Amino acid sequence: MELSNRLLEIAKFVPKNSKVLDVGTDHGYIPVYLVQNSISSEVIASDISPASLQKTIDYVDSLRLNDRIFPRLGNGLDIIKPNEVDTVIIAGMGGILISEILDRNEELCKTIETFILQPMGASKELRQYLIENSFTIVDEGLAKEGRRFYEIIVAKKGESKQLEDIYLDIGYKLIEKNHPLLREFINRRIEDVEEIIAKFGVPKTCKARARYKELKNLVKSYKEVERELEGNQHYRGNGEMGTQ
């Protein structure tokens, strides 16, 4: 079974020999890949939906991996005990739902080494949640399938400073490592926002004018990041507020 670009990119961030929980595993593809490629010797594969978990159970049974992949039914991190795993993957869900799953088990999160989070939307809100709740973003990834981009955020427990707004939107670690897909990703963001601006016409109300200005400024910020990449220099310091 060939893993999609998105799932492969997620798997790249899993530390070798780690004990993993894949929250919302659905089909169970990530756990199977991790054990078949000797990245993890054992994986807990969980889902809140019995029907989704059944897909994993059937897949794991068909491959006779029952001694290495352990399906569990339940909500988020409720189904593990402290120190049972050191890496948690939460992928393919909205950023707000991911933050709710982390928030639900705040104490347990302190016992986990690495969080690999792949939001399908609201990545900005997820980064803000992480900063406000004593997580630190240690790495970021990008994957592309067809026209669609996927962001991957790797976090650990630890204090971090507030990031500038633009780096909540475009992960700073992507800029830092000059990710090969980053230019294309930013261009797409610019195209999307410019499309909204084009539909605006002449803004008439105060609210519309404010929104118009906000969108124009967003395009400006994206273009500044592009220039930052061209120069390959971090004129914005380390992305944290007050370090320019």
Ligand X SMILES: C[S@@+](CC[C@H](N)C(=O)[O-])C[C@H]1O[C@@H](n2cnc3c(N)ncnc32)[C@H](O)[C@@H]1O
Task: Indicate which single residue of 11, 14, 21, 25 sits in contact with ligand X (rule: CB under 6 A).
Answer: 25
Q: Which is it for strands 114-119 and 135-145: parallel, antiparallel or unpaired?
A: unpaired
Q: 27 near 5, Cβ under 8 Å?
A: no
Size of the site for ligand X (CB under 6 A): 16
Residue 28 binds ligand X (CB under 6 A): no
Q: 153 near 130, Cβ under 8 Å?
A: yes
User: Which conformational region is residue 38 in: left (phi greater than 0), alpha (psi within -120 to 50 degrees), or beta?
Assistant: left
- Which residues touch 34 (CB under 8 Å, ≥6 apart)? 11, 14, 20, 40, 43
Q: 11 near 33, Cβ under 8 Å?
A: yes
Residues 91-120 as x/- pattern, contact with ligand X by CB under 6 A = xxx---x---x-------------------
Nearer to ligand X, 79 or 175 (CB): 79
Query: If you search the block for the tokens 């010797």, which residue do you land on?
Result: 41
Q: Which is it for strands 87-93 and 114-119: parallel, antiparallel or unpaired?
A: parallel
Task: Indicate which single residue of 11, 23, 108, 130 sits in contact with ligand X (rule: CB under 6 A).
Answer: 23
Q: Which stretch binds ligand X (CB under 6 A): 31-39, 90-98, 197-205, 217-225?
A: 90-98
Minimal distance in Å, beta carbon 213 to ligand X?
36
Q: Which stretch binds ligand X (CB under 6 A): 22-30, 80-88, 167-175, 199-207?
A: 22-30
Nearer to ligand X, 4 or 243 (CB): 4
Q: Which stretch binds ligand X (CB under 6 A): 21-29, 35-43, 107-115, 148-156?
A: 21-29
C-alpha distances in angstroms, 8 versus 116, 144, 150? 12, 11, 12
3 state DSSP class of 52: helix
Nearer to ligand X, 48 or 215 (CB): 48
Judged by CB under 6 A, the chain residues 32 through 71 that form the site for ligand X are 46-49, 52
C-alpha distances in angstroms, 186 versus 7, 46, 174? 21, 34, 11
Nearer to ligand X, 24 or 171 (CB): 24
Q: Which residues bind ligand X (CB under 6 A)?
A: 23-26, 46-49, 52, 75-76, 91-93, 97, 101
